[in-house]
Structure 1
Amino acid sequence: MPTVTRTVHSPAPVGTVQAYLRDFTHAEEWDAGTISCTPVDDAPIGVGKQWRNVSEFRGRETTLIYTLERDDPGHLRIVGRNKTVTSEDDLALTADGPGTTLTYTATFTFHGVAKLATPLLVPALGSLGDEAQKTLQAALEKLPVT
């Protein structure tokens, strides 16, 4: 299971950052690979809420259904699934002065034939993590500080 961990900082307080990240439609702004991210239904945002995420990885589009599986103060887990991969995004938020430090860990579990290619995908996943770190940092710097 390849894992990518990155840390970013926001001048905004933890509550503001968590509210932004728990609405996964914002992945269009902060996740470099996301093309679109739309709610599956009109249910309010909370544990169990789902989004259809279309992303590009290695030149190909892929669709995953993401579910908000954990929504605790300072901790979110959003898990995406399709027949090829399970992508678990674990977001840990801690107060850093008036701002927030976010540790973002993405774990990828490949299924079926894709599982055999896992070692070959590790470098591409690292590059994806680097790009996501840049776009996530830029998005979080734009959040309101108060």
Structure 2
Amino acid sequence: MHVERTFTVSRSIDDVFDYLSDFENTNEWDPGTLETKRTSGDGGLATTYANRSEFMGRETELAYETIGFDRPTFFSARGKNKTATATDTMRFTRDGDRTQIHYRADFKFHGIIKYVAPIMVKGKLDSLADETVEQIRTTLESARP
């Protein structure tokens, strides 16, 4: 199951990549994130993060690792726990002095939840994706980063 969105922000591709590829910044742009901390690495490939999120009223922890990093056009991170694997992939395209972002989040559920997730979760993921786009826009187009 996945969600994806394409949108444009009024920031340079370098600024956008640097900000979104530092996964600790999910604290600011991901509405579901409660806290993300870097646990190892320099921010590039194989950097790991501990993420604590809330979804549908439940708190969960995922161990993320940067699995794709090609500055300034591509970033991907995969988070895992016993019930799910989440992969966030972002592609960046220069659009003059603006940047087009193609954001995709893939979710693979494990155990019994994989049978009920398509019914119970899909609509919530779509809403969360819309919220995430708006939060990324707001954050990137403010004075920060």
Q: TM-score range by the shorter chain?
A: over 0.9
Look up the match of 2:79.
80
CA distance, structure 1, for counterparts of residue 143 and residue 108 of structure 2: 32
Q: 1:142 to 1:127 in 2, by over 3 A?
A: same
Q: CA RMSD in A?
A: 1.4
Report the CA distance between 1:104 and its aligned residue. 0.4
Work out the CA distance in 2 between the residues paired with 1:28 and 1:9: 21
What is the distance in 2 between the residues matched to 1:144 and 1:121? 32
Q: Encode CA deviations 1:13-35: one digit per residue, 9 max, x unaligned.
A: 11111111111000011001000
Give SS of 2:121's match.
helix
Aligned equivalent of 1:126: 126
When the two structures are superposed, what TM-score results if normalisation uses the length of structure 1? 0.92
Q: Secondary structure at the match of 2:44?
A: coil
Contact 1:55-1:63 within 8 A present in 2 as well: yes
CA distance in 2: counterparts of 1:142 and 1:13, whole angstroms: 13
Residue 66 of structure 1 pairs with residue 28 of structure 2: no
Q: Structure 2: how far apart are the matches of 1:20 and 1:14?
A: 10
Of the three residues 49, 55, 60, the one matched with 2:53 is: 55
TM-score w.r.t. structure 2 length? 0.93
Equivalent AA in structure 2 for residue 27 of structure 1:
T
More off after superposition, 24-33 vs 128-137: 128-137
**SS of alignment partner, residue 54 of structure 1:** strand
SS at match of 1:83: coil
The answer (yes or no) to whether the contact 1:10–1:141 under 8 Å persists in 2 is yes
Shift of 1:144: 6.6
Per-residue Cα deviation, 1:113-140 (whole angstroms, up to 9, x for no partner): 1111121211111111111111111112
Counterpart CA distance in 1 for 2:122 and 2:46 is 29
Would you say how many aligned residue pairs link Structure 1 and Structure 2?
143
CA contact (8 A) 1:12 1:144 kept: no
What percent identity do the matched residue pairs reach?
35
Higher relative contact order (CA 8 A, sep 6+): 1
Structure 2 residue 121 is matched with structure 1 residue 140 = no
Q: Would you say 1:109 and 2:76 are equivalent positions?
A: no
In 2: Cα distance, 1:58 partner to 1:144 partner: 29
